[in-house]
Structure 1
Amino acid sequence: MGSDHAHPAPPAPPRVRRILVLTVVPLFVATVLAAVLLWPRGGSPQTDGGADVPRYPGTVTRVVTEPCPPVASTPEGTPSAGGERCGTVDVRVDDGPTAGQQVRTPVPDGPGAPRVEVGDEVILVELTDPTDPTTSNWNIAEHQRGTPMVWLAVVFAAAIVAFGRWRGLAALAGLAATFGILLTFVLPGIGAGKSPLLVAVVGAALIMFVVLYLTHGVTAQTSVAVLGTLGSLVLTGVLATIATAATHLTGFGSEEATTLSMFQGDVDLHGLLLAGIIIGSLGVLDDVTVTQAATVTELANANPGLTRLQLYRAATRVGRAHIASTVNTIVLAYAGASLPLLLLITADSRPVGQLLTSEFLAQEIVRSAVATLGLIAAVPLTTGLAAVVTAAGRTAATPSADGPASRPQPDRAEALAALIAPRTGHSDDPDQAHTPPPPSVTGRWPESRTGTDPAW
């Protein structure tokens, strides 16, 4: 995220470290205490999803297709499914009480049905006739995806470690911690009837503390990113509450939410909408805050003469470019996840104004707008904190009675003598005999990495 540099930032002076510790540690303790109080107890809530259907792995050994029988005429205007497939599939059961047995199933048909061939690994379900428990039918539910997904995970982890090395390994550990907190605290807490917004804020803060310090190290720069992320998260939650109340969103804007309300009626869907905005914003917020903190540090290292205000202005220009691209990223991410919804909208005959203000589309617009506002607020907040901390550390380490340090200047007389002095050595070209040598007094000429463009 832009925080891995060849020249690490010098450690902050003791006074700055003490201030950061006194600020960050109480916030971390408060987050842990809130997580303990909100931690779900008593097991997972019971739902009305019905009994689980037995599922067994199997391998397709034979596929026989045949023409489908004619169907009765349907009323005019009824949409035709098309592409009907009929026949039988022989499958060898690979696990379970009937392992090794050959079973015969109908060819999967219908919307979303898997297309199977000989050698495919599939998941079988056994359906028992409620009127005759001794009679059962086998059907193919879906393909087995375990092996391809394991290989994809291995390639994913290997690429991250190969490129990021120890930093990549720390990123994988942070990813595991994120999933652990989501699966053990956030989702069970919301399912247990806790406030989704409160659980999401506490869970996001816990993820932020663990992932940022684990990935980027316990440094003043990381602490600045943590404070900026936490402040932006709180602001995002406040804005989301105001925006959803003003637009009268109920949280029933998707089919998944409606289905969840049927199976688990005590879940606050409005709060779940707010929780989704918080969790979704965290992934982009930590990128922006870490990048801004690292930018301020690198600018200060490149030109120690920059003042606190100059650091803030220069890093903010970088933040503007980052936000400009991130806004498009957020919109495209939501659009990619909602392509079926967008296609459904294009087929709707209602006016555009009615579509934009409908529950299911207004929910996505509010989600994108609130997340973007939180990101925009993260740039000045994190940049200002980083400029204050960096300038304080530099002043404490290298105080100057003349104010801000300026760019080192070469000795004018020595520079002039170097330009007019004849170059030593032999040359056949008389015009090159008086060519001035390049500056070689490295002790006086400033290095390229100690200054920046005057526009900064």
Structure 2
Amino acid sequence: MGSDHSHSAPPAPPRVRRILVATVVPLFVATVLAAVVLWPRDGSPQTDGGADVPRYHGTVTRVVTEPCPPAPTPEGGPSAGPCGTVEVRVEDGPNAGQQVQTPIPAGPGAPRVAVGDDVIMVELTDPTDPAASSWNIAEHQRGTPLLWLAVVFAAAIVAFGRWRGLAALAGLAASFAILLTFVLPGIAAGGSPLLVAVVGAALIMFVVLYLTHGVTAQTSVAVLGTLGSLILTGVLATIATAATHLTGFGSEDATTLSMFQADVDLHGLLLAGIIIGSLGVLDDVTVTQAATVTELANANPGLSRLQLYRAATRVGRAHIASTVNTIVLAYAGASLPLLLLLTADTRPITQILTSEFLAQEIVRSAVATLGLIAAVPLTTGLAALVTAAGSAPTGDAPRPRPERADVLAALSRPRAGRPDPEHTPPPSTATDQWPEPDRSTKTAW
């Protein structure tokens, strides 16, 4: 479908490849063995969520609005609307093809319906009279719009990335498969959330990086840098959450989860979230640093290990500066409703910042950033060692510099084909040190 936009890296020397294989393969085997040991075998745990209410697809055929009756309040004003009825044609289930009537959804978060909307219906049965039932609109059907969005998403990635984009889609599918079949069931089954998250993140890293970027020395360097930074992030997260006495009950979702599954370690779940969230940014940084070192070495094979490291680190600093803002904004955007609620809090700002919820988000951002900062020198150093090992034997020797007299002579000589009427010949004692007038300096430069 087309060639990659980047230059292919030269093959690493056999000795370097052997070292990388001897390092990466045992780590991959250990990750697979840990995943096999931690893989949930008892199935999904039983929760207290109650029986699922049957849900059916329907299409709105008619909406009738009417004035709302007086609310049961001392003022006696109209109750909150809208009020009226909705006629819906049931599309599946035992009542397929029938027209049912339901009240217009009302209340906070209620869906707003119009004729032609595809909705989800639920049938509620009266416990005292099983023969009596009522219908209600639960929400809109979102399957078709989401399907089209997924198609556009995949088409754009493949159109731009070509084979690399197709590999990225396969890596994305593999990531979700590992999350849904190993990480989430493993935590729900009572496993250590931190251990399950580290193993799951390492498994995702191996599959996605090699699938997307190929089995190369450059990818292996990114894998080692990501794994080392991931372990450091887990250690820092454990220390930070212990020092700040975070319990994991900093959000309403965590509190609700504790009601349905009391055996879930919410503190460990917080650590697992930090690990999984950091992985998505870590592999971006490590792959970029490894590719930067490779491209610099291809552009100038004479660069030494130290020169490669310094040049690529400057790129990493710029990358980290923008990524830090990305991390903070991502966490803030995900928690925007709650942050807006906190602005109406009358407590002092110091108490708000040290509350469980905000302290949890601050720890997330700080720990993820520290892991990213550590990933840059670690990955860049490994990449410089591997890349310089494949260059000339004198890769650490500085490039020869031209003599000072040659440089001055080249700068002073007029351009070829352009006589300089104002040029005054130097004294005879120095003319023999200047290059001949017809000599070209293009080769030297």
Q: Equivalent of 1:399, from 393, 396, 405? A: 393
How far is the alpha carbon of 1:83 from its aligned partner? 5.0
How far is the alpha carbon of 1:391 from its aligned partner? 1.1
How far is the alpha carbon of 1:6 from its aligned partner? 3.4
How far is the alpha carbon of 1:422 from its aligned partner? 4.9
CA contact (8 A) 1:232 1:374 kept: yes
SS of the residue 1:225 aligns to = helix
Identity %: 84
Q: Equivalent of 2:100, from 90, 100, 103? A: 103
Q: How many residues align?
A: 424
Matches within 5 A, 1:8-87: 8-73=8-73, 83-87=80-84
Partners of 2:349 and 2:113 in 1: how far apart? 42
Partners of 1:327 and 1:400 in 2: how far apart? 38
Residues 278 and 74 of structure 1, relative CA distance in 2, 3 Å threshold: farther
Q: Does the alignment pair 1:282 with 2:295?
A: no
Matches within 5 A, 1:2-401: 5-73=5-73, 83-394=80-391, 398-400=392-394
Cα shift readout 1:300-331 (whole Å, capped 9, x = no counterpart):
11111211111111111111110000000000
Partners of 2:149 and 2:401 in 1: how far apart? 51
How far is the alpha carbon of 1:361 from its aligned partner? 1.1
AA matched with 2:65: T
SS of the residue 1:265 aligns to = coil
Partners of 2:145 and 2:213 in 1: how far apart? 31
AA matched with 2:265: D
Residues 306 and 160 of structure 1, relative CA distance in 2, 3 Å threshold: same
Residues 405 and 129 of structure 1, relative CA distance in 2, 3 Å threshold: same
CA contact (8 A) 1:305 1:406 kept: no
SS of the residue 2:191 aligns to = coil
SS of the residue 1:315 aligns to = helix
SS of the residue 1:321 aligns to = helix
AA matched with 1:23: T
Task: Tell me the equivalent position of 2:432.
Answer: none
Cα shift readout 1:70-104 (whole Å, capped 9, x = no counterpart):
012259xxxx9985111000000001111001000
Cα shift readout 1:84-140 (whole Å, capped 9, x = no counterpart):
111000000001111001000000000000000000000000001011111110000
Task: Tell me the equivalent position of 2:423.
Answer: none
Task: Tell me the equivalent position of 1:449.
Answer: none
AA matched with 2:170: A
How far is the alpha carbon of 1:43 from its aligned partner? 1.1
**Stretches of structure 1 lacking an aligned partner (at least 5 in a row):** 424-435, 447-456
Partners of 1:420 and 1:268 in 2: how far apart? 76
Partners of 1:286 and 1:81 in 2: how far apart? 57
TM-score by length of 2: 0.90
Partners of 1:58 and 1:244 in 2: how far apart? 48
Residues 228 and 420 of structure 1, relative CA distance in 2, 3 Å threshold: closer
CA contact (8 A) 1:304 1:405 kept: no
Partners of 1:401 and 1:181 in 2: how far apart? 42
SS of the residue 2:250 aligns to = coil
How far is the alpha carbon of 1:360 from its aligned partner? 1.1
CA contact (8 A) 2:190 2:263 kept: yes
Deviates more, 1:65-74 or 1:344-353: 65-74
**Stretches of structure 2 lacking an aligned partner (at least 5 in a row):** 419-436
Partners of 1:58 and 1:202 in 2: how far apart? 43
Partners of 1:407 and 1:81 in 2: how far apart? 88
Cα shift readout 1:146-181 (whole Å, capped 9, x = no counterpart):
000000000000000000000000000000000000
- Please tell me the root mean square deviation across aligned C-alpha atoms, in Å: 2.8
TM-score by length of 1: 0.88
AA matched with 2:162: R
Partners of 1:46 and 1:240 in 2: how far apart? 30
How far is the alpha carbon of 1:5 from its aligned partner? 4.2
SS of the residue 1:279 aligns to = helix
SS of the residue 2:51 aligns to = coil
Residues 440 and 7 of structure 1, relative CA distance in 2, 3 Å threshold: farther
AA matched with 1:262: M
